[in-house]
Amino acid sequence: MFRCLRCGRCCQRTEMVLVPSDVARLTRLGYRFEDFAVVEGDLVKLRNVDGYCYFYDREERRCRIYEERPLGCRVYPIVVDLDEYCVRVDPECPAAETVELEDVYRVLPLLHQILRELGLTHIIPRLRIRLR
Ligand code: SF4
């Protein structure tokens, strides 16, 4: 079972993609799109400020919007690799080795939602699960 070390590394120089429902939820909370997001090509991503996610509280070492965090942050360190066509574990996560197949199954509905919101459900039949 995945055991998060709460090291905050995944909130450092984040490249987390935001889906439309993330943007809607965060703007509804009063955050301004231009403050927390950047547009890179077709994708919207979390903005980094001084090397950390806009929402990361460096003093408290915690996410300031944990309950409302983006879907990608909820499934991390499990990611969809669009180059390799697989669902895999980010090896950058220091606790990557603790992720088990049941963790992947647990987040499948969220992964499906992310792909649906990004208009990528057509790739689902091609996706493999690669734990290591
Ligand atoms: S939204 Fe929260 S969990 Fe996600 S990268 Fe930012 S600080 Fe980390």
Spans of all domains in the chain: 9-130
Atom 1 in ligand 1: which residue has the minimum CA distance?
A: 69
Q: Is the pLDDT of residue 132 over 90?
A: no
Is the distance from the beta carbon of residue 55 to the nearest atom of ligand 1 less than 6 Å?
Answer: yes
State the CB neighbour count (10 A cutoff) for residue 68.
15
- Indicate which atom in ligand 1 lies nearest the CA of residue 65: 2
Which residues are within 8 A (CB) of 71 and not within 5 positions of it... i.e. 6 or more apart? 19, 21, 22, 110, 113, 114, 117
Q: Is the pLDDT of residue 15 over 90?
A: yes
Q: Is the pLDDT of residue 14 over 90?
A: yes
Give the pLDDT confidence score for residue 131 in this predicted structure. Answer: 87
Q: What is the DSSP letter of 54?
A: T
Q: What is the pTM of this model?
A: 0.95
